[in-house]
Amino acid sequence: MIPQNMTKFYINGEWVEPVSKTRLGVENPATEEIVCEVALGNDDDADRAIMAARAAFDAWTVTSVAERIALVKRILELYNERYEDFARVMSTEMGAPITWARSAQAWAGQVHLEATIKAAEEMTWEYMRGTTRIVHEGIGVCALITPWNWPMNQIVCKVAPALIAGCTMVLKPSEIAPLSGVLFAQLMHDAGVPKGVFNLVNGDGPGVGTRITSHPEVDMVSFTGSTRAGTAIAAAAAPTVKRVAQELGGKSPNIILASANIAEAVAAGVNAVMSNTGQSCDAPTRMLVPRNRHAEALAAAKEAADAIITGDPLDENTVLGPLVSKLQFEKVQRLIQAGIDEGAELVTGGVGRPADLNRGWFVRPTVFGGVDNSMTISKEEIFGPVLAIQPYDDIDDAVAQANDTVYGLAAYIAGPVEDAKPVARRLRAGTVNLNYPDWDTSAPFGGYKQSGNGREYADWGIHDFCEVKGIVGWGA
């Protein structure tokens, strides 16, 4: 299905015609066919949305927390009713296998709405410290910029806490995968979000993105995307001293302990990398294994990767869909070739499409062995189904290799929990996952170093959208 209003913007409670006349074809990456066009806004479109959010802020931010929670509960109710629609549009716009679109992509929006509601109900919004009243209140007008790889996850992780904090906002989803964002905007309208509180303008980064991150009437920017774009956004926001929350790139290590079941741990690690076609910023793309078990790890990784079913996203058995675009396909091909050229051992996969697929941006599940931290495939975020396996000598060497990166979004450890705990404390990452745990939507999500700043999910996300006010003398 294609949502209505793909060539309009949602501003001040209405679907409006853009000032800009620029359009972009939206491609289904599994077929390379253009399924619709999306409008790309300009400065005037962005300004209209920002000023609508500014005009709505004063009235919205003084509503009660209970009122705002009730609205988000209504959004959740409508989301659940349209759950299959969201799964279908994300399968179309980004090539997600339909089973994955239901169980992960659409599910992420649902569970983050639930987690934000629960956190808001449990949060202490005001309290006394001595004679001072401490108050958490909305920061103001927020520019929300979300990526194509987890559309509903990132839209909900920004919109829901911003709403509950008492903020107004302008959302710019990725222009590569805009269908789900437009569908979400219609849901917001149907839920009764007051005029101007939520606005959506589609556009690209250099256009709408630059305008909303630099505009003097915007108080905060929340951005998820590449580290390169994140640094540009921080620079654009700096002259007006906006708060900038960023969830950026990653090159997450996965330490397989000597005490782990190597075959099981490696197979689980391969599947974790390949899910979402490798297009997750926290994917465990660098697997560190004991040097004396390296050959065993490569054999287990090959078996797991070769078992992955690649193909039509609408086939219920498909595990690996296409990459999102030709640009992404060409980048991943280039990096796979770099791994070969720099002397890494190609265990399985390689350049080109799978043999039985002649269209769509499909990539062969690829595993390299004998990798070290000097190689491009160990340093650069590939954002595709490519795993680099690196041998280590002892746990100190493993930790040193794991931390030897400009990124720090996530890290993984596989092995007995008591063996893993002391290693987890030594890793410089915002999230450390022990033995591939279930997704915890109440845990903080965000990175160290060049993986960003700020934290998302549950109360962590709400706090990012709040100012803290001290009213001194309140209790005198």
Active-site residues, by number, are: 247, 281
What pairs with residue 145 in β-bridges?
172, 223
φ/ψ region of 311 (left if φ > 0, alpha if ψ in -120 to 50, else beta) reads left
Q: What are the C-alpha distances in Å from 26 to residues 175, 206, 310?
A: 8, 18, 22
Query: Are the C-beta atoms of residues 383 and 401 closer than 8 Å to each other?
Result: no
Q: What are the C-alpha distances in Å from 319 to residues 65, 275, 423, 456?
A: 41, 7, 32, 28
Q: How far apart are the first and last CA of the chain?
A: 61
- Pull the structure tokens for residue 188: 């917001």
Strands 253-256 and 243-247: unpaired
Query: Are the C-beta atoms of residues 461 and 161 closer than 8 Å to each other?
Result: yes
The number of residues in the chain equals: 476
- Pull the structure tokens for residue 223: 């951005």
CA distance 195 to 199: 9
Query: Are the C-beta atoms of residues 289 and 256 closer than 8 Å to each other?
Result: yes
Query: Are the C-beta atoms of residues 403 and 423 closer than 8 Å to each other?
Result: no
Residues with Cβ within 8 Å of residue 470, at least 6 apart in sequence: 129, 132, 133, 134, 135
Residue with tokens 């999102």: 324
CA distance 365 to 267: 13
DSSP string, 295-348: HHHHHHHHHHHHT--BS-TTSTT--B---S-HHHHHHHHHHHHHHHHTT-EEEE
Single-letter residue type at 447: G
